[in-house]
Structure 1
């Protein structure tokens, strides 16, 4: 039995390390700690490999996007505050106009990603993969800009993704996304305490 567990751990070490770092990433995100971004960068780099091997190509592309947005978020959280803001970029609400733009962006991204998955890959879950990827792109941009609504998107995406990863047999990632779902709820509640409505 120990040999089976050891063999499984060795054959899934990249996914396990990515899952552990992913939990740390969400913890830092909830705390609004700048370490969110370097931890996210490492997590995403590992998951590029995991999702490529699982043929979840949109999720793999999403992880590549996360690498880039991690660099942007890191910079914005360090330098994006206004002169009158002493400590850090404040948590804020998105405007009604921005919400409409983000909905439109999500629909357009979904259509583009779905087209690519159907026509250029062997994905067996193109609709689900495209939807979670499109919403995740938008939510991560919102996180980088510190819009509280990103947590609501993550609650849905993480719960939905956990089911997708059950289907794919990515068990450490299933556990990670169940934890992500719970942590997204906690993140929303925590950020709500710091919400600036100006």
Structure 2
């Protein structure tokens, strides 16, 4: 049976994720609430890397909220691609960090699936930082995270969360296409502002 806390966490997180896909500023406050609730859910499931991740999400959501409104010299950030040279080192560094943190969890805690849990942590951090900067490439990283998270959460009995992460996988594809279009329109000077 799904606990009320897991339902509430998923409701706010789903709202935040769908709003992010629509490039809406409201993604941030709904995300803060959802992540705070998820921190408790994951702690109860012994998914400690995910607890740390939720704390990071709360803090980065506060920063993202400000950056989206005023991050470009007092003006709102626009959707844009990341620099290729930045992306070239992100994946190897992410894999190394996930392996290191996974080993730490494996040897020093009773964490369940420490390496998969660490992959979710590290690549979610990368995706979140790209999202905070309104970079298009955040969406492929969310695809990777969701692909790992679905079986991980299902294996811990978090079936609602696993199902919703499968939905988020689809949302990431739709959002990726949408953000690419927004960036193209902004480069042409005909973009509409971010949705409220």
Query: Does the Cα contact within 8 Å between 2:32 and 2:58 map onto a contact in 1?
Result: yes
* Preserved CA contact (<8 Å) 1:18 1:47: yes
Residue 165 of structure 2 is aligned to residue 177 of structure 1: yes
Please tell me whether the aligned partners of residues 31 and 61 of structure 2 are also in contact (alpha carbons under 8 angstroms): yes
The runs of 5 or more residues in structure 2 that have no matched partner are 188-196
Instruction: Give the deviation of 1:101 after TM superposition.
Output: 3.3
Q: For residue 5 of structure 1, what is the aligned residue in structure 2?
A: none
8 Å contact from structure 1 (residues 105, 138) kept in 2: no
Q: Is the 1:89–1:146 contact (alpha carbons within 8 Å) kept by the matching residues of 2? A: yes
**Please, what TM-score do these two structures have when normalized by structure 2?**
0.88
Distance (Å, rounded) in 2 between the aligned partners of 1:128 and 1:64 = 19
Task: Give me the whole-angstrom Cα distance separating, in 1, the residues matched to 2:57 and 2:85.
Answer: 25
Residue 29 in structure 1 maps to residue 17 in structure 2: no
1:154 aligns with 2:142: yes
Of residues 45, 52, 59, the one that matches 2:36 is 45
**CA distance in 2 between partners of 1:124 and 1:23 (Å):** 24
Name the stretch that deviates more: 148-157 or 99-108.
Answer: 99-108
Which ranges in structure 1 are unaligned for 5 or more consecutive residues? 1-7
Q: CA deviation at 1:82?
A: 4.5
1:123, distance to aligned residue in structure 2 (A): 1.2
- Of residues 81, 85, 94 in structure 2, which corresponds to 1:106? 94
Cα distance in 2 for residues equivalent to 1:79 and 1:101: 28
Aligned structure 1 segments of 4 or more residues deviating by more than 4 angstroms: none
Do 1:34 and 1:77's aligned partners in 2 also have CA atoms closer than 8 Å? Answer: yes
Q: Equivalent residue for 1:15?
A: 6
In the alignment, is residue 143 of structure 1 matched against residue 131 of structure 2?
A: yes
Aligned-residue RMSD, C-alpha:
1.7
Tell me how many residue pairs correspond in the alignment: 186
Question: With structure 1 as the length reference, what TM-score do the two structures score?
Answer: 0.88
Which residue among 57, 70, 83 is the counterpart of 1:66? Answer: 57
